[in-house]
Amino acid sequence: MQYDFNSIEKKWQEYWAKNQTFKASNDSEKEKFYVLDMFPYPSGAGLHVGHPLGYIASDIYARYKRHKGFNVLHPMGYDSFGLPAEQYAIQTGQHPADTTRVNIEGGVDKEGKKIEGYRNQLDRMGFSFDWSREVRTSNPDYYKWTQWVFIQLFNSWYNTDTDKAEDISDLISAFEKNGNTDINAVCDEDTPSFSAEDWKAFSEKEKQELLLKYRLTYLAESEVNWCPALGTVLANDEIVNGVSERGGHPVVRKKMTQWSMRITAYAQRLLDGLQKVDWPQPLKDSQTNWIGRSVGASVDFNLKDFENTISVFTTRPDTIFGVSFMTLAPEHDLVVKITTPEQKEAVDAYIEATAKRSERERMADVKTISGVFTGAYAEHPFTKEPIPVWIGDYVLAGYGTGAVMAVPCGDQRDYDFAKHFNIDIPNIFEGVDISEEAFADKENTVIANSDFLNGLPYKEATKKVIAELEKLGQGEGKVNYRLRDAVFSRQRYWGEPFPVYYDADGLPYMIEEEYLPITLPEVDKYLPTETGEPPLGNATEWAWDTVSKKVVANSKIDNETVFALDLNTMPGWAGSSQYFNIYMNVDPKNSQEIFSQDAINYWQDVDLYIGGSEHATGHLLYSRFWQKFMFDKGLVPKDEFAKKLINQGMITGTSAFVYRLPITLGFDKENLDETYNIKNEVLNTQIFVSYTLVSSLVKDADVAADLQTSLEDIFTGKYGKGFANVSLRVDDIQKIHADVSLVNASDELDIEGFKKWRPEFAEAIFVDDTGRLIIGKGNGYIVAREVEKMSKSKYNVVNPDAICEEFGADSLRLYEMFLGPLEQSKPWNTAGITGVHSFLKKLWRLYHGGVDGAFMVNDEEPSKDSWKTLHKTIKKVEEDIENFSFNTSVSTFMIAVNELSSQKCASRQILEPLIILVSPYTPHIAEELWEKLGHTESISEAPFPKFEEKYLVESSKEYPISFNGKMRFKLELPLDMSKEDIESAVLAHEKTQQQLQGRTPKKVIVVPGKIVNIVG
């Protein structure tokens, strides 16, 4: 009986769906285990073989854990808000909700293109997902809870005394009692202090404005990259060389009022939390760098002739006597105020120039030094000497305080700036030469020329200067974080609307929770409005009626009971910051609470999370922030949502290239047959030369001449006497992508398929390696191959559906794992799949040793060798799965099946446990064989075989005998032989004598059970 994978896989996929085999229960005697994948964005292009890599790995682990007796939760859903659907909507006018649904569920889009749908594609691969818990972030019953969390953030503040988020009402009562003087909270830098009396005297508007300075989500002016031509805000990577990537329009930096998340309140806890999660070190490192904790001091420099002070943060307060100038970011608030009339023109010009440069550009350009003197002077806190205040675009407004105390002798950037503008470079280091470059080493010198700091090393000097600054009231020790509050507004359509309306003063109010969700309004077009408002500005029904508690027409806005709603939507990471908790609900559409407390207390957190490392500082940092906030609110029992995380590597594509040889045809006009349309013929006649022929064509004139002759024969036959000659333009050979599906395992092109692929290739002529023309159905055209990112435009995407069709899902799963270590990136090459596919056929045959391949297992006692094969396989596979080393267990299966086949093993005692071992990797064939073995229940919860050491015990060992560390021959010796006996047995061996060639060994190392090494 043949291994008919198509019908087997179909049968079991239907069985699992019908029996809800993988539906997880929230109530079980078993220990829980939660395996999570990063949910996909459902794009119209569908899945390629790179996508399921992580899903296969997590599925193997989930299935393994079921065999190990765990109650496993393994859900899947869709991150279905996002830009591609919106852009598609702009282009085609289709509602993003419609295209998103088709991308998930399959169907035909408006242009008649058939879309398979993510769900169908995923189902074909045999994943053990519990689909009853599916979520889609763009469904109103899901984003209801995204909006709800936003409201909770708005109604919270961060108490640094208790180090957690607390209810805003508690803050208000504190203000009523004592003002804000004894409140330690994370709040805006510019928050004034006030007493209880002040508070009570404030107007409602003033109160709300003050509270915004404390709320965990708040409205603030933030700088954005504004593109006036597109009427939209661009991300850093949508800007290339200062202009928009799309269209090349100018981009300016502009301030906009937007929602921000006070993630900085959690900076230290986000850092500390990394200690307790088992995540890859590089990922932790990048989060650590992103948070960017640095310890130093804040120092206030008084300005001469102004009341204001310039605050700076420095990690080197010990070098304060080396300050010879200060630099402000051009956007710094004080710049306009302090610039002297003489310098105004230069400063204004510089600010304007800076506004045109993106932040990324400013940061990347290290070589150009630019800046302008403001004309103002600050005062050194100790020497009272005047310090010139400059502006420079190497200082960024968003970092620290947007101002730097420049110490050119200790910082290379300050040094370069000072050299460039001829500013004094005082040396404050003992015995250090700074004539060539700054000295940034903290450890190897002591401070000099610094009054009370003279002779002190870095640490003591830092401590002392901070104490002195505190005495003066001009500074204090401070920990600074690079992390900035996260802007949370997007000027887009396809995202979660804010449950927020504004009064006439522009103050925000939250809609009451019971009226959520506030669903996205319909709009005519998905572009920004003509006045530059976000797409929601196109909606005609987008106002909140506080009486009827409904979204009503904009025309009803009276700013008394009906108010304008927020026109922004939330960013992509809003919906993905809690989806893993929502999966815990038995009913993902739970409308009563975000997640049931029973569910969250049962599942607690994710035990294994698999996904790409590109989310290191986005999704994975924001999610940790939301989780900590929800932990503070008592909504979740764990303040880290995922115990262990694995980053799967990227699968790259192996592109195929054909070489097109341009030719020029010469004609003899006199004899030309007028009826022939030569122009078209020439255009349609393309010559493709085999990859290996290219270099010889270029180098060897004879090869080229032979080809020329062959081609001339063809064209003479075609055009008759009107044809004169062919000239080959060997130097103009072009390399073009060919679709990888047209290339076989030996890199041969399917010529007929290639001709049909594109009409212009229909009449093409192909030349093989040896320079011969390939006639008829011939083969032998070899393509060049190169590894590149898998992408549609490179014609190197490999579709998993086609692989499932040809080889089956089990082969695909096994092959994806066999390619190499999960965490590394590796190239895809479909050719190799025959290896794992024939392994599955061998596995099948192992159970079908009967007449004409009939199923046959027996109840005979297995041989010692078969027991050994089984148990070493159990041991290795178990270790491999625990270590996420899936590629090596595939090899182990191959070895086991090869051995058992040659042992002619058909024993139930071996074959039954073997199929359980294989089943997490190739579940369909495993279920089928399990059923044939007589079982009526799914294999999915069959207990994992238990490893027994006794089957591996050996009595002898084939010792490698090495000379000076090099293995030269092997010798079989009993394992219980003593060291001395081994030594004499080896030395007596004739090959030893041959190796030694008469020399006496200096030393003989015997490691019993391992190796013998003879030195000499």
Binding-site annotation: residue ranges for ATP: 792
Supply the DSSP symbol for 748.
B
Q: In the numeric block, which tokens belong to residue 515? A: 């009226």
C-beta of 969: minimal distance to RNA in Å?
8
Q: Which of 34, 35, 39 is nearest to 619 (CA)?
A: 39
Distance CA 546, CA 1 (A): 72
Return the number of the residue (309 or 898) whose C-beta is nearest RNA. Answer: 898
Candidates 879, 842, 862; CA nearest to 913 is: 862
Residue closer to RNA, measured from CB, 481 or 542: 481
Q: Give the three-class secondary structure for 171.
A: helix
Query: Based on CB atoms, which residue is closest to RNA, 343 or 829?
Result: 829
Q: What is residue 952's three-state secondary structure?
A: helix
List the beta bridge partners of residue 310. Answer: 301
b/e per residue, 814-842, with b = 16+ CB within 10 A? bbbbbbeebbeebbbbbeebeebbebbeb
Distance of closest approach, residue 587 Cβ to RNA, in angstroms: 38
> Exposure of 80 by Cβ count < 10 A (0-12 exposed, 13-18 middle, 19+ buried)?
buried
Least distance from C-beta 437 to RNA, angstroms?
13
- Residue with smaller CB distance to RNA, 147 or 327: 327
- Tokens linked to 785: 């191959």
d(CA 956, CA 962): 18
Please, which of residues 260-299 interact with RNA by CB under 7 A? Answer: 281-282, 285-286, 289-290, 292, 294, 296
Name which of 193 and 368 has its Cβ closer to RNA.
368
Which CB atom, from 405 or from 600, has the smaller least distance to RNA?
A: 405
Minimum CB distance to RNA, residue 365 (Å): 6
Tell me whether residue 440 or residue 683 sits nearer to RNA (CB atom).
Answer: 440
Say how many Å lie between the first and final Cα of the chain, rounded: 61
* Interstrand relation of 372-379 and 386-391 (parallel, antiparallel or unpaired): antiparallel
| Nearer residue to RNA within complex by CB, 34 or 415 | 415
In degrees, rounded to 5, the angle at the alpha carbon of residue 48 between the alpha carbons of residues 43 and 49 is 150
Distance, in Å, from the CA atom of 550 to the CA atom of 501, rounded to the nearest integer, reads 12
Q: Least distance in Å: CB of 107 to RNA?
A: 34
Residue (201 or 745) nearer to RNA, CB: 745
Q: Is 591 in the site for RNA (CB under 7 A)?
A: no
Element of type H or E holding 446 = none
* 968 contacts RNA (rule: CB under 7 A): yes
Q: Which of 401, 450, 581, 648 binds RNA (CB under 7 A)?
A: 401
Restricted to residues 606-645, the positions that interact with RNA (CB under 7 A) are 613-614, 616-617
Torsion of CA 311, 312, 318, 324, to 10 degrees: -90
Site residues for RNA, 718-747, by CB under 7 A, read: 745-746
411 near RNA (CB under 7 A) = yes
3-class DSSP assignment, residue 102: helix
Among 121, 156, 314, 922, binds RNA (CB under 7 A): 314
Check binding of 173 to RNA (CB under 7 A). Answer: no
Q: Is 394 in the site for RNA (CB under 7 A)?
A: yes
Annotated binding site: 792
Site for RNA in 443-482 (CB under 7 A): 480, 482
Closest CA to 796 of 667, 685, 655: 655
C-alpha separations of 767 from 621, 659, 699, 760 in Å: 55, 10, 17, 17
For residue 937, give both structure tokens.
Answer: 């229940």
- Single residue of 395, 565, 689, 982 touching RNA by CB under 7 A: 395
Q: Is 829 in the site for RNA (CB under 7 A)?
A: yes
Instruction: Kindly state whether residue 691 participates in binding RNA, applying the rule CB under 7 A.
Output: no
Distance of closest approach, residue 374 Cβ to RNA, in angstroms: 16
Q: Which of 685, 708, 885, 903 binds RNA (CB under 7 A)?
A: 885
Q: Does the protein bind RNA through residue 838 (CB under 7 A)?
A: yes
Query: Which member of 196, 895, 933, 987 binds RNA (CB under 7 A)?
Result: 895
**Nearer Cβ to RNA, position 277 or 1011?**
1011
> Is residue 229 a contact point for RNA (CB under 7 A)?
no
If one asks whether residue 970 binds RNA (CB under 7 A), the answer comes out as yes
Query: Alpha-carbon distance 331 to 397, whole Å?
Result: 6
Contact 114, 121 (CB under 8 A): no
Binding of residue 248 to RNA (CB under 7 A): no
Distance CA 391, CA 335 (A): 8
Query: Measured from the CB of residue 974, what is the shortest distance to RNA in angstroms?
Result: 15
Q: Is residue 824 close enough to count as binding RNA by CB under 7 A?
A: yes
- Stretch near RNA under the rule CB under 7 A, chosen from 112-120, 419-427, 836-844, 942-950: 836-844
Binding part of the chain for RNA, among 132-140, 200-208, 847-855, 895-903 by CB under 7 A, reads 895-903
Q: How far is the CB of 832 from RNA (least distance, A)?
A: 4
Min CB(94)–RNA separation in Å:
31
Nearer to RNA, 25 or 294 (CB): 294
Contacting residue, 610, 665, 689, 819, with RNA by CB under 7 A: 819
User: Residue 1006: CB partners within 8 Å, gap ≥ 6?
Assistant: 979, 982, 983, 986, 1012
Q: Which is nearer to RNA, 228 or 832 (CB)?
A: 832
Q: Which residues pair with 255 in a beta bridge?
A: 223
Instruction: Determine if 974 is a binding residue for RNA (CB under 7 A).
Output: no
Which of 131, 399, 676, 757 is close enough to bind RNA by CB under 7 A?
399
In the list 38, 125, 405, 428, the residue contacting RNA (rule: CB under 7 A) is 405
Amino acid at 874: I
Report the distance separating Cα 920 and Cα 66, nearest Å.
Answer: 9
Please report whether residue 825 would count as binding RNA according to CB under 7 A.
yes
C-alpha triplet 446, 452, 456: angle, nearest 5°: 20
- Shortest Cβ 577–RNA spacing (Å): 18
916-955 positions binding RNA, by CB under 7 A: none
Stretch that binds RNA, among 88-96, 520-528, 549-557, 873-881 (CB under 7 A): 873-881
User: Which helix (H) or strand (E) covers residue 254, if one does?
Assistant: strand 252-261
The footprint of RNA on residues 757-786 (CB under 7 A) is none
Does residue 404 touch RNA according to CB under 7 A?
Answer: yes
Looking at beta carbons only, is 156 or 314 nearer to RNA? 314
Of residues 357 through 386, those in contact with RNA by CB under 7 A are 359-360, 362-366, 368-369
Looking at the Cβ atoms of 398 and 720, the one nearer to RNA is 398
The size of the interface with RNA (CB under 7 A), counted in residues, is: 91
Side chain identity, residue 563? F
User: Closest approach of Cβ 388 to RNA, in Å?
Assistant: 16
- How far is it, in rounded angstroms, from Cα 136 to Cα 138? 5
- Mapped onto helix, strand or coil, the DSSP state of residue 879 is helix
Which of 976, 968, 964, 978 minimizes the C-alpha distance to 1013? 964
Q: Which of helix, strand or coil describes residue 178?
A: helix
Q: Which residue type does 489 have?
A: S
| Rounded distance between C-alpha atoms, residue 704 and residue 728, angstroms | 8
Taking contact as CB under 7 A, which single stretch among the options 62-70, 180-188, 850-858, 891-899 is the one that binds RNA?
Answer: 891-899
Closer of 67 and 876 to RNA (Cβ): 876
CB of 833 to RNA, least distance (A): 8
Q: Alpha-carbon Rg of the chain, whole angstroms?
A: 36
CB 531 within 8 A of CB 176: no
**876 lies in the binding site for RNA (CB under 7 A):** yes
- Identified binder of RNA from the candidate list 315, 427, 696, 725, rule CB under 7 A: 315
Return the number of other C-beta atoms located less than 10 Å from residue 14's C-beta.
11
Distance CA 781, CA 658 (A): 9
Binding of residue 91 to RNA (CB under 7 A): no
